[in-house]
Each structure stands twice: as structure tokens, then as C-alpha cells.
Amino acid sequence: MNDELIPRFDARRILRRNPVAEAAGSGEKTWKGVDLRRDSFDVEGNLMASGRLDRDEVPRDGGDIESIAAGRPPRGMTMAVAAMMSGRGVPGVSVTVVNRDRVLLAAGYGLADCAESTPATASTSYLWFSMTKIVTATAAFRLVDDGRLDLNAPVGEYVPYLRSSRTMPSVGQLLNHTAGWGNPLPIRWVHAANADPPDPEALLRHLMGGRRVYRYHAGQSARYSNVGYLAAGQVIAAAAGMAFESYIHQSILQPLGMEHTGFRYQEGADKATGYLKAPRIMDPLLRGMFPAGIAGNRRGAYLSLNHFYVDGPAYGGLVGDVWDAGRFLRKHLRDGEIDGTRVSGWSISAPGPASGTSRASTPTAVWASSS
């Protein structure tokens, strides 16, 4: 690999230093009257009252390696991220760590775009791919709470063309991957960002007409299936009485204030570029695997990918940054409530005190996106 083309991640080089981290490293337990052990901070060391930085304060002024937008990395984290990126050939990654009450860390490492030397930050927009499935499942449970969806009902009750004599999974089995459906390789289920998206119903009908979908008996072992979540999207649309994407915006993104996440890149978003690490001799094969317009230019050991979207919004179509992902995680950790707004739907309850202990554990969630 040509180091001038794809800069290596060097953990000794820092975009900005967080004065809070330096105070903590000196052994101080308080700094400017706040508790270094519990509170979170912005890049200048200011206490984050709301648990979320204003996006205009996020550093965007370039740099090579580490961009800390909020909080302070635990000891050894920077070196661990550096080792992961170097060992797996990852040009850039953004990460957020949250608990019920605040953002503990929001940071970017490496480059979001190697050609432009654009640093990865907490505000970089990435394709969420299969992390979208968590949002899809949450939307389904919102409909359950509203009495408009029955998880035990056969999927054919909501989407008639999914009725089959071979296997008839329930809605819940779609969500927990026990529908018995196969998982065809989805590498061609994408389209260029400047192209019109295909109809997800047409894609699902096409897949259901093949022989590779009905593979197992419903309700048995869990087997991962993107097709199941394509179908779940159609079930949600039918139960909600509107397009799947519209219901996700109405029921999840807007109530949670996820303003920089959707099914298309936001105007002016800092977009991460995708890369495939492969020998140059593989270029003709890789270019043939993707639909036209997806494979981009070669850059050293990497083949870049032009910006694109996933064809099936319900199984992998969301695009957004880790700030919004952190808000979504906090919603689950807070049993559906965030910043005074309660959103119904499936939530992860915080565990109570364990037997023989005097305090409850504090749930923490991590989200990472990479180029």
C-alpha cells in the first residue's frame, strides 16, 4: 500500500487535545467545578448540559487522526482503535458511547475520504446498512403499542402476496430471523446516489419468486435474512397505511430529533466514502459485481465506491451520523423517553440491583460506523 495515497493511522498524532482528558490524566477528580468521573464535555472542555453538542461546535478543521467532539476516550482506547484500523485496513471510523443520561464519547478516527483528506468526525454521515434493522424493529413495536400490528399474525394478513403454501411465518418471526427464509447475497441490491431508487415491493416480489428464499421451516433456528426485513418493511407500510420511509420519519426520526438521519444524505452532509481493500488485478471482477456507477477510482490498495444507497430501505437503507445514532440508543436505554419526550415502541429496560449488591448497573451502548 502506498502510504502517500492512504495515510496510516498513527495514534501519536492528535487532531485536538481535550483539556478535560489532560486534567483526568493528572489524577484530578474535578475540573472547573465538575466531576470528571461522571460528566461529559465538549472538545474545549465545557460541560455538556444537554448531553448533546450543538453541531456547529463540532471541529471540522481537518487533521490526521483523532477528532474528539465530546467526552474523553478511556485509557488505551486510541491505541486500540489504531490497531484495529491498521490491522483491518479501515481508513476511517466514527464512534459514539452513551448511557441513559448523556453522550460519554463522540469521536472520529482517520479519514472519511482519502482522496480529499477529509477527517472522520462525529458528524460524518455513513450508510447504516444492517443497523437499520434495529430502527425497523422499533417501528414495528410502535405499531404494536398502537394496536395496529400483531406480531403473532401471519405475514400474509398484511401483505397478501406473501401468502405461501410452503411456509407462512408470523410478523414476529420476520423480526427475529426465524421465518425460515434464505439470505441471497445482496451485493447488487444498491443503486447510485444520483439514480432513482427501485420499488422495494418489486424487489421483494422478485425475490419471493425465486427458489432461494424458502429454505427452512418457520419458527425453528434463527437464520439471518435480509429478505425477512424487506418483507417486514412492507408489513409495516401496510399496517401504518403509508410508505415505510414516511412512517420511520414520523414515528422514529422526528420524535427523537434525529435531524441528520434519513434515507438520503442530508444537504451539505460530510459523506464518508466506502473502500474495498483488494489487489488491483481484482478490479474487473469487483466492477462487474456492482451495478453500473458504484465502483469508483482505485487509490493504492483500495477501490473506492461512489456514493450509493441500498435498494431495500427496511433492511439497510438509513444514512446518518453517530450523533443521531447515540440519540436512538439513549431512547432504548431510557425506556422510550429522551429529553422529556416519550416515544412508544420496544425499549431496553435498565437492570435493577443484582442480588447482594447495593447499586444498579448503568447500561452503556456503543455505535461505530466506518468508511
Residue predicted with more confidence, 59 or 290: 290
Three-class SS of residue 112? Answer: strand
- Residue 11, Cβ density class (10 Å: 0-12 exposed, 13-18 middle, ≥19 buried): middle
Query: How confident is the model at residue 350, as a pLDDT?
Result: 38
User: pTM for this one?
Assistant: 0.78
Residue 364 is predicted with a pLDDT of 63
Contacts of 177 (CB under 8 A, 6+ apart): 222, 223, 224, 225, 228
- pLDDT of 361 > 90? The answer is no
Helix (H, G, I), strand (E, B) or coil at 312: coil
pLDDT value of position 165 = 60
What's the whole-number mean pLDDT along residues 62-67? Answer: 58
Residues 349 and 333 sit within 8 Å (Cβ to Cβ): no
Question: Where is pLDDT greater, at 280 or 41?
Answer: 280
Residue among 192, 190, 208 at smallest CA distance from 311: 190
Q: How many residues does the chain have?
A: 371
pLDDT at 340: 72
Per-residue pLDDT band at 362 (split at 50, 70, 90): low
Residue owning grid cell 469487483 = 286
Q: What is the pLDDT of residues 16-40, one digit of tens each?
A: 334 444 444 444 444 334 333 333 3
Distances (CA, A) of 351 to 26, 61, 103, 221, 333: 34, 41, 20, 28, 10
Please, which pLDDT band fits residue 163 given cuts at 50, 70 and 90?
confident
Task: Give the pLDDT confidence score for residue 285 in this predicted structure.
Answer: 92
Report CA-CA distances (Å) from 36 to 40, 46, 106, 228: 8, 12, 16, 45
pLDDT digits (tens, 9 = 90+) for 164-179: 766 789 999 999 999 9
Sign of CA dihedral 111, 321, 51, 74: negative
Mean model confidence pLDDT for the chain: 78
pLDDT category of residue 345 using cuts at 50, 70 and 90: low
pLDDT at 71: 87
Grid coordinates belonging to 341: 419526550
- Residue 355, pLDDT above cutoff 80: no
How confident is the model at residue 9, as a pLDDT? 39
Question: What average pLDDT does range 98-109 have in this prediction?
Answer: 91
Residue 93: pLDDT band (50, 70, 90) is: very high
CA distance readout (Å), 180 to 173, 219, 223, 230: 8, 7, 7, 14
Q: Does 47 score more than 60 pLDDT?
A: no
pLDDT of residue 369: 78
Q: For the segment 144-156, what is each residue's pLDDT rounded down to a tens digit?
A: 999 999 999 999 9
Bigger pLDDT: 212 vs 27: 212
- Cell 451485493 locates to 187
